[in-house]
Each structure stands twice: as C-alpha cells, then as structure tokens.
C-alpha cells in the first residue's frame, strides 16, 4: 500500500458562526494527483488552507508525512508544515527578481537560522539545488530572467519549482491553471501529474474545470456545501456526480 503523505480526518471550520467545512476526511497518497472539485463556496480553498496553516480548523486531525500537525506548535509545527507547499492561481512570486532567486526563496520555509540575512542572499549550494528544480520544470534556460517578464504558464512552472526547492512532499495547488490559456493549463497539469507519478509527490489540486481532472488526475474529491460527497477514481466521475456538485447552484449553506 502506498504511503499516505496527507491524511485529514473530521475537519471542521466555521467563519463567523457559519459552518463551511464539516466532517471532511480524506487522504492523498505519495504518487497520486487528487483533484478537488465543487461549486464556488463549497470549501475547497478552505480545506487546502487548513492543511497549509493559512486557516485554523475548529476541529479535526491533519497528518502530514509522519507528523500530526494538529498536535504540534511553534518551530516543530513550522518545520513539519514545510513538507507541504502551496501553489496558487494568482502566482505569488516576486516579479522583479529572477526565476532562480524566486525558487531559492522556497527553501526559506525549511532553512533555519537565516536571522538577519536578506532573503535574497543564497548560498551556492542552494542556487545549484534551485537550478535543478528549474530544470525539472523545464525552465532552466530562463533562470536568470526576471519573473515579471515570463508568461503566465512559465511563471506557474517557476512557482512549482519553488515548491520543489522547499523539498515538500505534498503539493497543494489552488486553481493552479485557472489564469492560464488552455495550452499552458494543459502543460502545467501534465507537469503536476508527472511530479506525482515520477517524483512520488502527493499532489492535491483544486480544479475549476472537471475535464482537467478527468484528463490528468488519478482520483477526485467532490465537495458540496463543506462536505465530501464524492471520493473515487476519476473514471467514476459521471453526469450524476457533476449534477450533484454543480447544478444545485447557490451552493452556499
């Protein structure tokens, strides 16, 4: 059986007294790409944010690699959490810095004792590792280019390289291709699937288009009003599932 890189159980979250996640339990194994599907407001982003530490769950247990995040605090929590890296729709890179510098910055999440050093002073060793990550995403030839000059698809590749440089074992991607044209979207999805299958990463990706999930993901998890209503191989996604997930509009609870 494959190793569960991420295991979430009984996750619950409310905002201002309104339940947005209820009894959310799932896992993502090393080597698989899992697509999160669901209408706007169904709780997809909040689920990933709870794992990444950008939202604090009210209840539930989150296991990442061999650590139980929900039982850790302080530096231990920070280190354990660095095993998950987030890639967003809106690309969070520094546009005036080179691709290489941006990728090196991924290591900040795991490198201790940087103290007063500028976050843009990086050792040769780290720069070499970052070059390897850029190579992995097919961007080595643009390493010294300012990120702001790259296309959306290229920037998203750099963002993935930064996650690799963080040495994450779980990639959390929230609509990673929503801002890209169809070709670039296809390529970035291919890259994410490759990283899962070849590098044994666990990839959880919120996808706006179910067809992308059907083409690239191994498994899909469907959320409806903060609850999981589908969890199965993408081959099992059919019109009934899509009707359930998307046609009951005004999905908000």
Ligand X SMILES: Nc1ncnc2c1ncn2[C@@H]1O[C@H](COP(=O)(O)OP(=O)(O)O)[C@@H](O)[C@H]1O
Q: What is the binding site for ligand X (CB under 6 A)?
A: 15, 20, 38, 40-46, 252
Which of Mg ion, ligand X, none binds 132 (CB below 5-8 Å, type-dependent)? none
- Residue 12's DSSP bridge partners are 59
Smallest distance from ligand X to CB 207, Å: 11
> Nearer Cβ to ligand X, position 40 or 123?
40
> Nearer Cβ to ligand X, position 20 or 134?
20
Smallest distance from Mg ion to CB 21, Å: 12
Which of Mg ion, ligand X, none binds 123 (CB below 5-8 Å, type-dependent)? none
Smallest distance from Mg ion to CB 49, Å: 9
Q: Which has the closest alpha carbon to 7: 74, 73, 83?
A: 83
> Nearer Cβ to ligand X, position 54 or 117?
54
> Nearer Cβ to ligand X, position 45 or 169?
45
> Nearer Cβ to ligand X, position 16 or 118?
16
Determine whether 151 is exposed, middle or buried from the number of CB atoms within 10 Å of its CB (0-12, 13-18, 19+).
exposed
CB closest to Mg ion, residue no: 45
Which of ligand X, Mg ion, none binds 162 (CB below 5-8 Å, type-dependent)? none
| Segment 27 to 46, residues that bind Mg ion, using CB under 5 A | 45
Smallest distance from Mg ion to CB 45, Å: 3
> Nearer Cβ to ligand X, position 164 or 221?
221
Which of Mg ion, ligand X, none binds 120 (CB below 5-8 Å, type-dependent)? none
Residues that contact Mg ion, how many (by CB under 5 A): 1
Smallest distance from ligand X to CB 126, Å: 33
Q: For the residues of the chain, what is the DSSP string, one character each?
A: ---EEEEEEEEEEEETTEEEEEEEEEEEETT-EEEEE--TTSSHHHHHHHHHTSS--SEEEEEETTEEGGG--HHHHHHHHTTEEEEESS----TTSBHHHHHHHGGGGT----TTS-TT---HHHHHHHHHHHHHTT-GGGTTSBGGGS-HHHHHHHHHHHHHHTT-SEEEEESTTTTS-HHHHHHHHHHHHHHHHHH--EEEEE-S-HHHHHHH-SEEEEEETTEEEEEEEGGG--HHHHIIIIIS-----
Tell me: does residue 98 bind Mg ion (CB under 5 A).
no
Binding site for Mg ion (CB under 5 A): 45
């Amino acid at each position: 059986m494959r190793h569960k890189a991420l295991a979430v159980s009984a996750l619950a979250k409310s905002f201002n007294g309104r339940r947005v996640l209820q009894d959310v339990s799932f896992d993502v194994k090393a080597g698989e790409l899992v697509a999160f599907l669901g209408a706007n407001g169904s709780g997809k982003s909040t689920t990933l944010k709870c794992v990444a530490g950008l939202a604090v769950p009210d209840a539930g247990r989150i296991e990442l690699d061999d650590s139980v995040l929900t039982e850790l605090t302080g530096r231990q929590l920070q280190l354990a959490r660095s095993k998950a890296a987030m890639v967003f729709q809106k690309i969070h890179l520094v546009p005036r810095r080179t691709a290489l510098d941006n990728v090196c910055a991924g290591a900040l999440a795991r490198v201790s004792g940087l103290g007063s050093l500028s976050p843009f002073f990086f050792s040769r060793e780290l720069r070499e590792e970052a070059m390897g990550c850029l190579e992995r995403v097919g961007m080595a030839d643009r390493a010294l280019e300012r990120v702001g000059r790259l296309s959306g698809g290229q920037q998203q590749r750099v963002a993935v390289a930064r996650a690799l440089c963080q040495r994450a074992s779980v990639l959390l991607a929230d609509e990673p291709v929503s801002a890209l044209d169809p070709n670039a979207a296809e390529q970035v999805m291919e890259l994410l699937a490759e990283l899962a299958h070849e590098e044994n990463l666990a990839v959880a990706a919120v996808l706006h288009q179910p067809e992308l999930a059907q083409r690239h993901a191994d498994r899909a998890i469907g959320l409806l009003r903060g609850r999981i209503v589908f969890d199965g191989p993408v081959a099992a996604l059919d019109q009934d599932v899509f009707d359930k997930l998307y046609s009951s509009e005004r999905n908000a609870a």
